[in-house]
């Protein structure tokens, strides 16, 4: 067992750690934030992504983090001008996407800190 301990410790250190254990079902965005995101979505996303687009997207992202999804959005959207929106705009659009998928809204908005978003797991709704 003593010989296995360093290997087990290294393995455990390589696994993702989600300190607060929150998921997208834990009311992680506010209604006001989703409303702001809806306007941004209409201006920057609707041309390529209708509202029905996001349900299957969230299905494929189950088990991943909102931070990872936010990073992809920030670096690749909108398609004709990637990374052109403000950091907060992307997070507000993400809140709107959560509302479209009927995840519950809470009192606090999603943080625009990607490290904090990394602690929120996308789960089935």
For 44-97, write each residue's pLDDT tens digit: 999 898 888 888 989 999 999 999 999 999 999 998 899 999 999 999 999 999
Over the stretch 27-49, which tens digit does the pLDDT of each residue have?
Answer: 999 999 999 999 999 999 998 98
43 assigned to some structural domain = yes
Q: Are 114 and 67 in contact (CB under 8 A)?
A: yes
- The structural domain count of the chain equals 1
From residue 40, alpha-carbon distances to 8, 16, 23, 45 in Å are 46, 32, 24, 8
Tell me the sheet residues that pair with 121.
Answer: 23, 65
Find the CATH number of the domain harbouring 117. Answer: 1.10.760.10
Query: According to the model, what pLDDT value does residue 82 have?
Result: 93
Residue 11 placed within a domain: no
Residue 67's domain comprises: 18-121
Would the pLDDT of 21 be above 90? Answer: no
């Amino acid at each position: 067992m003593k010989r296995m301990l360093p290997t087990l410790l290294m393995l455990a250190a390589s696994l993702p750690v989600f300190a607060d254990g929150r998921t997208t079902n834990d009311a992680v965005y506010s209604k006001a934030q989703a409303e702001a995101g809806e306007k941004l979505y209409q201006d920057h996303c609707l041309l390529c992504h209708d509202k029905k687009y996001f349900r299957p997207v969230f299905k494929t992202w189950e088990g991943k983090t909102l931070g990872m999804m936010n990073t992809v959005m920030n670096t690749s959207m909108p398609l004709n001008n990637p990374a052109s929106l403000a950091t907060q705009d992307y997070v507000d659009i993400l809140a709107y996407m959560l509302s479209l998928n009927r995840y519950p809204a809470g009192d606090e908005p999603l943080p625009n800190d990607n490290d904090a978003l990394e602690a929120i797991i996308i789960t089935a709704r």
